[in-house]
Chains A and B, each alone.
Chain A
Amino acid sequence: MAKTVSEGGGPEQPGRRRVLGFLVGSGVMASFVSFVYPILSFVLPPESGELDADTVAAKANELAANSAKIFRMGNRPGILVRMADGNYKAFSAVCTHLNCTVQYRQREHDVWCACHNGVYNLQGGVVSGPPPKPLEEFAVHARGQDIVVTRESRT
């Protein structure tokens, strides 16, 4: 026997069904709002609009020639070097020997690890000292006023 939801009341408490129907209806609508709110918040892009895969390491003229800066690349430190000729190089700043953070030496124009005197050149290659592997190099691009560092795809 088909019965529709609100067809007639009937002798017993028509009000109660209407009240319940109203409660359910408004409860469902309220729950819909509680679904819609998170979804709407989700689809609006967050302030840090870009993904960390594209890292803005510095602003265009932040670094002088022959100087460098440590920045965050994902969860590890990276080093952005502005060479004497004004061009940029970026590497992982994690020394391949025992994971200390490397630094740029202005006088020698090289990258140096203070922990055990490991020295890298500006191609990331090992010049002397204990490091067994070169520093991973990243790609550097200028985008507007930003210097952007990205990791090249491995596959």
Chain B
Amino acid sequence: MPATSQQWRFLLMLAVLLVAGSSARAQSRDIGTPPVDTCRTCHAQLDDRLGEPAKQFADDIHGTRGMTCASCHGGDPREEDMEKSMSRARGFRGVPKRSEIPQLCATCHSDGAFMRAYNPSLRTDQLSQYKTSVHGKRLAAGDTKVAVCSDCHGIHKIRAASSPISNVHPQQIPATCGRCHGDAEYMKPYKIPTDQMAGYKTSVHYEKLSGGDLAAPTCVTCHGNHGATPPGISSVERVCGTCHVFQEQLFDQSPHKAAWAPMKMSSCLTCHGNHAIKHTGDFLIGTGKDSICMTCHAADDNGGKVASQISTVLAGLDKSLAEAGAILDSAEQKGMEVGEARVTLSTAHEKLIKARVDLHTMNSARVEETTKAGEKLAQQVNQDGVQALAEYAFRRKGLALSLFAIAFVVICLWLLIRNLERRSAGEEAGRSGGS
């Protein structure tokens, strides 16, 4: 007769208690002495799929911390006799079911007192977070296709998230999430998009992440890891705003904020996208063909006019900076030192960056205030560059003058020499007899 769910839960609790018990035994061991783990020693000698986990476990973080196979699978790791070590009576439970895995891991990882002995600063709320996630909710409803702990962290080769070869290292996260979420066949029943990975790979965040910036956002940065859920429309702005602080604050001051909320238009995503967040550029604003503004606005309505104004002042400052830079390059190429002017130019460039942040207010006067400050600095750089070129021209004139003087001396010398030698040649001729 099939066991009722209540009976299954009871058996599960029993197994869990036994597992916890055996782990407690592992805890009282002296640090430094490798644990007696007959499971590992026997299974490592096998070559098939029964042997793989035992071999991998040597590198697992649990394995190196003194856990044994029995810590999760139950049984008695001190017994060499297979009947005894894998007996149900001693708590052996075989391969745990997918739906049981979160609870199984949580027996240790949600126990603060227990985890303290290993890593006091590790969080212990993974399971409670997981239960709030889409994965956790669906698992509780019976869907075993969703991710459980082992799908992301691995099973027998688990490493700390900071290890570059861990599945949950920031640079590995897109691939780990993408294993399911990018698989259109696997995700068919869920009717959600499967292009996130592909989109993310074209994004500036992915570019930074794969370039080595581990602080760049990955899937979990915006979606959470254990409590993974897509952010709601109201919260996405705050998520982006954790790093892009000013953009969020300024957007809140813009007319878009009030206008978009009732239309269920997301604040950052509407213009910048969610996964495929590309490099921004001045082409995004204004009335040009690539401008996002023109998706909703017309070139001659209020919005279009503001966009056009902002676009104009940004383009103007960009051009001034380029011109100033070109003069400095020209002076530098001629050998003039323009280090100080370059510092001013970089300060002016920062004004352009600031203007591009200011535009999130959609207030052209505000943006123009910043660009005007930038223009002033660019003009100063221009002057310095022109001065450097003038100094160069002055040096060439000075050189021409000195060369002229030198040529004069050289010519006089030449004439003097000729004169002297004609003289002495004449005297010689005279002396050797005017025959």
Contact = CB atoms under 8 A, between A and B. Distances in A.
Interface of A: 1, 3, 5, 10, 12, 16-17, 20-21, 23-24, 27-28, 30-31, 34, 72, 74-77, 97, 100-101, 114-117, 129-132
Contacts of A75: 339-340, 342-343
Contacts of B254: none
A3 B420 contact: yes
B242 interface: yes
Given A23-B416, A24-B416, 6 more contacts: A17-B416, A101-B350, A117-B244, A129-B243, A130-B243, A132-B213
A31 B243 contact: no
Nearest to B212: A132
A16 B419 contact: yes
Contacts, number: 77
Nearest to B354: A114
Contact of A117 (B243, B419, B422, B423): B243
B261 interface: no
B419 A116 contact: no
Interface of B: 213-216, 242-246, 339-340, 342-343, 347, 350, 353, 357, 402, 405-406, 408-409, 412-413, 415-416, 419-420, 422-424, 426-428
A100 B424 CA distance: 77
**Most chain B Cβ neighbours within 10 Å, of A24, A97, A116:** A24
B216 A130 contact: yes
A27 B404 CA distance: 11
Given A16-B419, A75-B343, A1 B428 contact: yes
Contacts of A97: 213, 215
B373 to A, nearest CB: 14
Contact of B409 (A24, A116, A130): A24
B405 A31 contact: yes
A100 B353 contact: yes
Contact of A31 (B245, B246, B409, B420): B409
A116 B413 CA distance: 71
What is the predominant secondary structure among interface residues of chain B facing chain A? helix
Nearest to A21: B416
B215 A77 contact: no
A83 to B, nearest CB: 24
B412 A23 contact: yes
B326 to A, nearest CB: 19
Contact of B402 (A5, A24, A34, A129): A34
Given A1-B428, A117-B242, A130-B213, A20 B416 contact: yes
Contacts of A100: 350, 353
A12 B215 contact: no
Contacts of B350: 100-101
A24 B412 contact: yes
A74 B213 CA distance: 27
B215 A129 contact: yes
A31 B402 CA distance: 8
A1 B424 contact: yes
A94 B244 CA distance: 18
Contacts of A115: 353
Contact of A116 (B244, B340, B428): B244
A36 to B, nearest CB: 13
A30 B406 CA distance: 10
13 contacts: A1-B424, A5-B420, A17-B419, A17-B423, A24-B409, A27-B405, A72-B340, A75-B342, A77-B347, A114-B357, A116-B215, A130-B213, A130-B216
A101 B350 CA distance: 8
Q: 6 closest Cβ contacts across the A-B interface?
A: A130-B215, A27-B409, A20-B416, A116-B243, A23-B412, A24-B412
Contacts of A16: 419
**Most chain A Cβ neighbours within 10 Å, of B214, B244, B413, B416:** B416
A17 B420 contact: yes
A6 to B, nearest CB: 10
B153 to A, nearest CB: 25
A113 to B, nearest CB: 10
A95 to B, nearest CB: 11
B419 A10 contact: no
**Most chain B Cβ neighbours within 10 Å, of A10, A77, A115:** A115
A10 B415 contact: no
A27 B406 CA distance: 8
B245 A117 contact: yes
Contacts of B422: 12
Contacts of A5: 420
Nearest to A101: B350
Contacts of B213: 97, 130, 132
Nearest to A9: B423
Contacts of B245: 114, 117
